[in-house]
Amino acid sequence: MSILVDENSRVIIQGITGHQGMFHAKAMLGFGTKVVAGVTPGKAGETVHGVPVFDSVHGAVKSTDADTSMILVPAPFALDASFEAIDAGIGLIVIITERIPFHDAIRIVAYARQKGTTIIGPNCPGVISPGKCKVGIMPSGIFEQGTVGVVSRSGTLTYEIVNAITESGLGQSTCVGIGGDPIIGSNIVEVLKMFEGDEETESIVIVGEIGGTAEENAAEHVKGMRKSVYAYIAGRTAPPGKRMGHAGAIIARGKGTAESKIAALNEAGVDVAKHPAEIAELIKGG
Amino acid sequence: MKFHEYKAKELFGDYGIPVPRGVLATSGKDIKGLDYPVVVKAQVLIGGRKKAGGVKFADSPEEASRAVDEIIGMDIRGYEVRQVLVEERAEISKEYYLGITIDREERAPLLMTSAEGGVEIESVPDDKILKRHIPPFSVLPSYVLRDASKFLGLAKEEGKAFSAIARAMFRLFEKEDAELVEINPLVLTSKGEFVAVDAKLTSDDSALYRHKELQGMEQDLTPLEREAKSKGIAFIQLDGDIGVIANGAGLTMATLDMISLKGGKGGVFLDLGGTDDPEKVKEAFRLMKKAKPSVIFLNIFGGITKCDSVAQGVKEVLDEEGIDVAVVARIKGVNEDEAKQILRDAGFVAVSSLERAAEETVRLRG
């Protein structure tokens, strides 16, 4: 097992004929992901690294039985692309695109809930189950198959943490980059529930950051969990009121600070690492 | 993007929300056609204007003119006041709070209202604030407005007027891609009419492409922050002296945290984002140099980003214009060995471990 994706996932890439699309299609194929189709309106009949391109998600699903989509289209088209994938019955949509207006994200999530589709992202590095499947843009080389589940709000910081886990000799069951935007399809608690039900996952790492109350809510949920949970929170030294690069990282109203998140997690019995490499030591110390 | 109060009120007016009559002024001469008394308010994008002396009351044109001249040029928490809004004063019978924002966890708009208006909403206890989610793809439902009117204790006609304002606010919230629309206080005058005495509006920068009229609107930034923004670089000036350049907001924050753990203090947050374009790296270093840090810490975790392209950019800055402070580079990921070699040849410290790099940075700062 693993969560969200595995060796049987049949993946399409929306926006496969773009520069990013072609690059990541190749990387995903190289990883062993079953990339069964690409979708770019108007480009049906073309192929990208041997993968057939379709005009519509409906067409791609009909011909290939795809169940998962990765969206790499520019932000102004992401709402439409997401609705199309949801409407075509795709069960898991990973939205990599950044800078999607959050009013669009709210609509995407609402429609997905109505149709029972799981959304990861937007503005995220994707999902990877090492040894099985990668639906995302993360550097494959740092991942190793193992038993640690990782759920993260931050892109490059995920790599930092994963690298530390791998270098310490442990590996990952699945790593889910949920994205740092204010509105995301799946939050930490929802991913924790998936990990809780996954036999392959023995321990879980939450990579959080300042802003919002997702980590505080996760801490509440952890109290009822059987598996060991560890965490790292970025932004301990961020000054109040300043934005750190993206909309998800705002400190406001005394909530959502690194201190409040760390306190809530500690109270729930979660060991919180002071720096990324310490995560591996904590897991090993068990 | 935060809107200045005068700009927010213009928009509020466009959507049919009643606002006081007022004029924007840069000197006492600009005030014309208003009835007295008036209030003169500094137009800066930071809270606490009143405490800082940026809000004054005036009963006559002379007093108002004096107040304008006193406030213009004032420094409010680092922001220079360049314009003031002069408005007719509403006769206050009661003050309310009304806001619409998003609930991240529910992924839905949230209406908040309170009869305890006119004070900071953070200081109002939770049981005095009514919170109701608004279903996505919807209008603001009537049952929510009935609940709100009852909660606020409004009479029937007042409830109708309040509901019209709330509906207009929600239309504005959706159409203008707002993150937050807020009126505090929403004043009920002695004549029984509502007026939005203050107006807060924050819109979503990511949606600017569909709001051409808002592009290029003035923002309160430090000159360097302004320059960075125009170049598409996330750059924030902090209190410390160490300049941090990293790729990704989370990693940049983690780098600042690591520096603090080793006894240093970050002075600049610079997020390169996903780029390894040497031109952008050069631009980043140019900006960083202008902030005059004691030492520069470059932290690159190359996933898609190629470390050697970044290193090449750094080397070009050094060759072309020089860098007069030490640079410590933590390089990890794609083409890391080539990158380290380029940087070491250029005389910089280049290592793989974040912890060691942070220690070295703090040591070099002396």
* ipTM attached to this prediction: 0.88
Q: Token digits for A197?
A: 């039900």
* Beta-strand relationship, B349-351 and B326-333: parallel
Contact of B233 with B283, CB cutoff 8 Å: yes
Beta strands in A159-280 (DSSP E): 172-177, 203-209, 228-234, 271-273
Put simply, the answer to whether A235 touches B205 (Cβ < 8 Å) is no
Query: Taking 60 as the threshold, does the pLDDT of residue A254 lie above it?
Result: no
Nearest C-alpha neighbor of A32 from the set A176, A125, A131, A162:
A131
Put simply, the answer to whether B260 touches A236 (Cβ < 8 Å) is yes
Tell me which chain A residues have a C-beta less than 8 angstroms from the C-beta of B108.
106, 110
| B193 assigned to active site | no
Other C-beta atoms closer than 10 Å to the C-beta of A181 total 25
Nearest C-alpha neighbor of B283 from the set B252, B256, B310, B253:
B310
Residue B29, burial from CB neighbour count under 10 angstroms (0-12, 13-18, 19+):
exposed
Contact of B185 with B197, CB cutoff 8 Å: yes
pLDDT at position A247 is 40
Q: Token digits for B111?
A: 């209406």
Q: Token digits for A205?
A: 């790492």
Closest partner CB to A180 (pick from B179, B234, B249): B249
Contact of B338 with B311, CB cutoff 8 Å: yes
Helix (H, G, I), strand (E, B) or coil at B68: helix
Query: Taking 70 as the threshold, does the pLDDT of residue A250 lie above it?
Result: no
Looking up tokens 């929510």 gives B144
Orientation of helix A214-222 relative to helix A188-196, angle to 10°: 30
Put simply, the answer to whether A101 touches B204 (Cβ < 8 Å) is yes
pLDDT in tens, A130-174: 999 999 999 899 999 999 999 999 988 999 999 999 999 999 999
By the CB < 8 Å criterion, does B238 face chain A? yes
Q: Token digits for B46?
A: 């930071």
Put simply, the answer to whether A187 touches B257 (Cβ < 8 Å) is no
Q: Is the dihedral of CA A35, A40, A44, A50 positive or negative?
A: negative
pLDDT at position A249 is 45
Pairwise pLDDT comparison (A254 vs B35), residue with the higher score: B35
Looking up tokens 């980059």 gives A177
pLDDT at position B230 is 83
Looking up tokens 């937050």 gives B180
By the CB < 8 Å criterion, does A284 face chain B? no
pLDDT in tens, A66-116: 999 999 999 999 999 999 999 999 999 999 999 999 999 999 999 999 999
Put simply, the answer to whether B246 touches A156 (Cβ < 8 Å) is yes
Pairwise pLDDT comparison (A241 vs B182), residue with the higher score: B182
Q: How close is the nearest chain B Cα to the Cα of A48, in Å? A: 20
pLDDT at position B55 is 94
Element (H, E) at B1: none
Contact of B100 with B170, CB cutoff 8 Å: yes
By the CB < 8 Å criterion, does B136 face chain A? yes
Q: Distance (Å, rounded) from C-alpha B87 to C-alpha B64?
A: 10
- Amino acid A212 reads G
pLDDT at position B1 is 83
By the CB < 8 Å criterion, does B301 face chain A? yes
Q: Distance (Å, rounded) from C-alpha B357 to C-alpha B330?
A: 6
DSSP-derived secondary structure letter, B291: T
Closest partner CB to B248 (pick from A156, A239, A247): A156
Put simply, the answer to whether B137 touches A107 (Cβ < 8 Å) is yes
pLDDT at position B262 is 95
pLDDT at position A240 is 62
Give the residue from A23, A103, A109, A187 with the most B CB atoms within 10 Å of its CB, the best one to mutate. A103
Put simply, the answer to whether B301 touches A156 (Cβ < 8 Å) is yes
Tell me which chain B residues have a C-beta less than 8 angstroms from the C-beta of A217.
105
Other C-beta atoms closer than 10 Å to the C-beta of B286 total 15
**Residue B232 CB contacts under 8 Å (≥ 6 apart), including other chains:** none
Tell me which chain B residues have a C-beta less than 8 angstroms from the C-beta of A101.
177, 204, 206-207, 210
**Residue A263 CB contacts under 8 Å (≥ 6 apart), including other chains:** none
Nearest C-alpha neighbor of A79 from the set A63, A95, A90, A92:
A95
Return mean pLDDT, chain A.
93
DSSP-derived secondary structure letter, A252: B
Other C-beta atoms closer than 10 Å to the C-beta of B137 total 10
Residues of chain B short of pLDDT 50, as ranges, are none
Cis bond leading into B37, ω under 30°? yes
Q: Distance (Å, rounded) from C-alpha B336 to C-alpha A44?
A: 39
DSSP-derived secondary structure letter, A141: G
Residue percentage of chain B with pLDDT more than 90: 67
DSSP-derived secondary structure letter, B2: B
pLDDT at position A198 is 97
Residue percentage of chain A with pLDDT more than 90: 85
Query: Taking 70 as the threshold, does the pLDDT of residue A241 lie above it?
Result: no
Nearest C-alpha neighbor of A20 from the set A163, A137, A116, A128:
A137
Catalytic positions of A: 246
Put simply, the answer to whether A242 touches B236 (Cβ < 8 Å) is yes
- List C-alpha distances in Å: B163 to A22, A29, B159, B291: 51, 55, 6, 49
By the CB < 8 Å criterion, does A244 face chain B? yes
Give the residue from B171, B208, B252, B305 with the most A CB atoms within 10 Å of its CB, the best one to mutate. B252
| Selected residues 209-238 of chain A with any CB under 8 Å from a CB in chain B | 209-210, 212-214, 217, 232, 234-238
Q: Distance (Å, rounded) from C-alpha B358 to C-alpha A162?
A: 20
| Selected residues 272-291 of chain B with any CB under 8 Å from a CB in chain A | 273
Put simply, the answer to whether A237 touches B256 (Cβ < 8 Å) is yes
pLDDT at position A246 is 43
